[in-house]
C-alpha cells in the first residue's frame, strides 16, 4: 500500500471548489431516469448521455475533481473511439468506480438491507485499477422507521464498509465510504441526527479494526435532515449546524475530506445546504459534494435524448457544477443562482 499516493488522490478528490460527479447509476436506476425523459435505456444512449457530461470540458476542469463510474461505463469508448476513462482524465478529473453489488434484504430484519459485493472484490479491484480507476465507492443504506434501524443493520453494514475500504487500500485505490441514512419517511431531524451519529461512530470503529488508513479515504455521508414526509421541515442553517455537530463528534480530523450525497434533495437545496455548512467553517476537513441527481437532473431534462440538445444539456450541467463549486467554497448565494441561471 502506497499511503502517500492514496492521500494525494483523496486530497485531490476534495480539492477546494471541486467535487465528485456520481455517474454510477445501475442499469435499473438509469432506466428510471431515462423513462422520465422519454429516452430508451440502450447502451448507446447511456454512452452518449454520459459522454456529453464528460465532454463539458470547462465545467469538468473547473469544478469536477472525479467521476464515479458504473461497470459498463468504465469499459466504454466515446463515439470517436476514445475510452471514456481517457476523456475524463483529459479534463483533469480522476476516474473512479462503484464496486458494491447493491443492497439486499437483511435476514430477519424487515425493512432493512445489507450491501453485498465482497465476494471476489479483490480480483475486481485489480481489474478496475488496470482499467484506469483510482478510487472506488461502496454505498450502505440505513433506513429510519418504526423499530429501525436495528443494531444488526448498523453493525453489518459498517463491517462490510470497513472490509471494502481495506481491500481498496490494499490495491492502492482510495475508498469512498458511504453510509447513507435515507431521508425517506416522516422522522424528525433530531431522529436523523441520532441515527447518523450512531452509524458514523460504528463505521469509524470498524474502520479502525480493519486497519484502514483514514488519510487515504473520503467519507460520503448524508446531511442531517428531517424525513421528506416530516410535518416539520427546518431552515438550511439548522441542517448545517446539526450536520457539522455530528461530524465533529464522529469523524477524525485525519480524514482529508467529506463529500456529501444529495439523496432526495432538489438541485438548489443540495447546493444551498452545502454552502451553509461551508459558511459555518471551523472544521478540519474539506466539505464538498458527490452528487448524482443534483448535478444530472437538469442536463437530463435538457438533453431528452436529442443530439440537437447536447449544447443545452452541457450548459445545464455547467451551471449546476459551477453552483456547487461555489457552495464548496461557501461563496454561493440565491442571487448568484438566479443571475447565473
pLDDT at 113: 98
> Hey, CA dihedral for 87, 301, 27, 324, is it positive or negative?
positive
pTM of structure: 0.96
Instruction: Please list the active-site residues.
Output: 178, 220
Q: Can you say whether residue 240 is alpha, beta or left, with left for phi > 0 and alpha for psi between -120 and 50 degrees?
A: alpha
3-state secondary structure of 144: coil
Taking the C-alpha atoms of residue 242 and residue 167, their distance in angstroms, rounded to an integer, is 32
pLDDT value of residue 339: 85
Domain that residue 103 falls in: 3-340
Residue 340: the pLDDT is 76
pLDDT tens digits, 110-140: 999 999 999 999 999 999 999 999 999 999 9
> Is the preceding peptide bond at 149 cis, omega within 30 degrees of 0?
yes
**What span, in angstroms and rounded, lies between the C-alpha atoms of 147 and 192?**
14
Distance CA 10, CA 334 (A): 30
CATH of the domain at 296: 3.20.20.70
pLDDT at residue 11, rounded to an integer: 98
Residue 246 — pLDDT band, cuts 50, 70, 90?
very high
pLDDT higher than threshold 90 for residue 341: no
How many structural domains compose the chain? 1
Q: Are 60 and 91 in contact (CB under 8 A)?
A: yes
Across the range 136-165, mean pLDDT stands at 97
- Report the pLDDT averaged over residues 45-68: 96
Backbone angles phi, psi at 208, to 5 degrees: -65, -45
Buried (b) or exposed (e) across 34-73, using 16+ Cβ within 10 A? beeeebebeeeebbbbbbbbbbbeebbeebbbbbbbbbeb
Amino acid at each position: 500500500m502506497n499511503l502517500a499516493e492514496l492521500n494525494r488522490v483523496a486530497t485531490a478528490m476534495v480539492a477546494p471548489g471541486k467535487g465528485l460527479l456520481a455517474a454510477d447509476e445501475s442499469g435499473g436506476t438509469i432506466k428510471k431516469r431515462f423513462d422520465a425523459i422519454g429516452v430508451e435505456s440502450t447502451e448507446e444512449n447511456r454512452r452518449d448521455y454520459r459522454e456529453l457530461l464528460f465532454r463539458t470540458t470547462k465545467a469538468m476542469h473547473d469544478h469536477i475533481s472525479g467521476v464515479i463510474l458504473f461497470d459498463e461505463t468504465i469499459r466504454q469508448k466515446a463515439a470517436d473511439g476514445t475510452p471514456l476513462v481517457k476523456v475524463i482524465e483529459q479534463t483533469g478529473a480522476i476516474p473512479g468506480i462503484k464496486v458494491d453489488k447493491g443492497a439486499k434484504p437483511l435476514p430477519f430484519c424487515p425493512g432493512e438491507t445489507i450491501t453485498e459485493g465482497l465476494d471476489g472484490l479483490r480480483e475486481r479491484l485489480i481489474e478496475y485499477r488496470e482499467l484506469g480507476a483510482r478510487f472506488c465507492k461502496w454505498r450502505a443504506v440505513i433506513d429510519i422507521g418504526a423499530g429501525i434501524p436495528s443494531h444488526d443493520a448498523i453493525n453489518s453494514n459498517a463491517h462490510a464498509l470497513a472490509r471494502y475500504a481495506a481491500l481498496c487500500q490494499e490495491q492502492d485505490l482510495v475508498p469512498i465510504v458511504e453510509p447513507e441514512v435515507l431521508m425517506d419517511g416522516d422522522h424528525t431531524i433530531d431522529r436523523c441526527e441520532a441515527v447518523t451519529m450512531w452509524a458514523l461512530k460504528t463505521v469509524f470503529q470498524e474502520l479502525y479494526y480493519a486497519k484502514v488508513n483514514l488519510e487515504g479515504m473520503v467519507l460520503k455521508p448524508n446531511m442531517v435532515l428531517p424525513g421528506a414526509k416530516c410535518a416539520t421541515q427546518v431552515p438550511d442553517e439548522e441542517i448545517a449546524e446539526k450536520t457539522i455537530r455530528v461530524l465533529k463528534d464522529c469523524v477524525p480530523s485525519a480524514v482529508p475530506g467529506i463529500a456529501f450525497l444529495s439523496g432526495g434533495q432538489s438541485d438548489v437545496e443540495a447546493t444551498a445546504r452545502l454552502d451553509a455548512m461551508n459558511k459555518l467553517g471551523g472544521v478540519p476537513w474539506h466539505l464538498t459534494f458527490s452528487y448524482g441527481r443534483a448535478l444530472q437532473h437538469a442536463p437530463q431534462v435538457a438533453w431528452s435524448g436529442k443530439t440537437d440538445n447536447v449544447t443545452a444539456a452541457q450548459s445545464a450541467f455547467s451551471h449546476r457544477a459551477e453552483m456547487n463549486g461555489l457552495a464548496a467554497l461557501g461563496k454561493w448565494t440565491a442571487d448568484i443562482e438566479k443571475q447565473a441561471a
